[in-house]
């Protein structure tokens, strides 16, 4: 079993729909990251969460530490949101603080049709 | 800032040849990460550095892979000898000081070993 599981693997929706992508993890974490990868290959960090909820424009990310679960929501989806969305966790093995290398989910391939 | 800069962007090499990938992190970032992305395995951590010191190299596949960070503004990932199964996109990333902070990825180096 992977340490980071995402669902769905693929999602096709119509423009304007509300999108939810889920991420579950099985290890202790220092932080959870949501990343976006466009067809050209570049990876952009959308959010870094250790608790609660964050919002940026039409994107909302939530995390429930007790349930080891996070969701990424996109409101009023648009074709330019089409990309692969990747959940990644930093392991809480560095008790002295500092960053950790990330462990990644397999990604969710999102297509928004006009 | 120009972001994380990687070179080369694309490389095609013959099996057995030495490959050197280069990375310039964002100025002021004291964490540097090397990741590899393949269709089969997704994104994986290879190695990361803090203040130029390797912290975790457990993801380095085998002795053919080596990474160095001689100073705060430069890192290399070397594969010698290269094999077709090393074909992948290699990403360098850097992050701010502190715990679980935002991570910035380079555009990636697309390696094909024939």
Let me know: does A64 contact A32? Beta carbons within 8 Å: no
Which pLDDT value is given to residue A95? 43
Per-residue CA distances from B12 to A13, B38, B67, B110 (Å): 37, 16, 20, 8
For A44, what's the count of Cα atoms within 13 Å in the CB-facing half-sphere?
A: 9
- Chain A partners within 8 Å of B102 (Cβ): 45, 48
Question: B92, exposed or middle or buried, with CB in 10 Å at 0-12, 13-18, 19+?
Answer: buried
- Smallest CA–CA distance, residue A8 to chain B, in Å, is 16
pLDDT digits (tens, 9 = 90+) for A55-92: 999 999 999 999 999 999 999 999 999 999 999 998 76
Examine residue A86 and say whether the peptide bond preceding it is cis (omega within 30 degrees of 0). no
**In whole angstroms, what is the distance from residue A1 CA to residue B51 CA?**
34
- Smallest CA–CA distance, residue A88 to chain B, in Å, is 10
Q: Does B103 touch chain A (CB under 8 A)?
A: yes
- Chain B partners within 8 Å of A31 (Cβ): 99-100
Is A102 a residue whose pLDDT tops 80?
A: yes
Mutate to test the interface with B, among A47, A101, A104, A106 (most CBs of B within 10 A): A101
B53 confidence band (pLDDT: 50, 70, 90): very high
pLDDT digits (tens, 9 = 90+) for A12-39: 999 999 999 999 999 888 889 999 999 8
Of A41, A99, A105, nearest to B100 by CB-CB distance is: A99
pLDDT digits (tens, 9 = 90+) for B12-21: 999 999 999 9
- Chain A partners within 8 Å of B54 (Cβ): none
Is A96 a residue whose pLDDT tops 50?
A: no
Per-residue CA distances from B11 to A46, B20, B61, B84, B106 (Å): 29, 10, 20, 13, 16
- Smallest CA–CA distance, residue B79 to chain A, in Å, is 21
Which pLDDT value is given to residue A92? 64
Of B33, B48, B108, nearest to A41 by CB-CB distance is: B108
């Amino acid at each position: 079993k992977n340490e980071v599981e995402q669902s769905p693997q693929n999602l096709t929706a119509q423009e304007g729909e509300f999108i939810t992508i889920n991420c579950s993890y099985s290890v202790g974490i220092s932080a959870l990251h949501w990343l976006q990868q466009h067809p050209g290959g570049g990876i952009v960090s959308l959010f870094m969460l250790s608790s609660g909820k964050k919002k940026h424009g039409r994107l909302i990310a939530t995390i429930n530490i007790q349930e080891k679960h996070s969701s990424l929501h996109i409101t009023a989806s648009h074709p330019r949101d089409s990309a692969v969305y990747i959940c990644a966790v930093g392991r809480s093995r560095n008790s002295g603080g500092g960053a950790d290398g990330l462990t990644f989910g397999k990604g969710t391939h999102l297509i928004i049709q006009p | 800032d120009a972001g994380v800069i990687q070179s080369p962007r694309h490389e095609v090499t013959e099996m057995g040849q030495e490959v050197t990938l280069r990375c310039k992190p964002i100025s002021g970032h004291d964490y540097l990460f090397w990741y590899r992305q393949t269709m089969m395995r997704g994104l994986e951590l290879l190695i990361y550095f803090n203040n130029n010191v390797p912290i975790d190299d457990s993801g380095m596949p085998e002795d053919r892979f080596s990474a160095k960070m001689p100073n705060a503004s430069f890192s290399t990932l070397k594969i010698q000898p290269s094999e077709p199964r090393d074909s992948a996109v290699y990403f360098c990333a850097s992050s701010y000081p502190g715990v679980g902070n935002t991570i910035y990825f380079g555009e990636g180096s697309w390696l094909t070993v024939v």
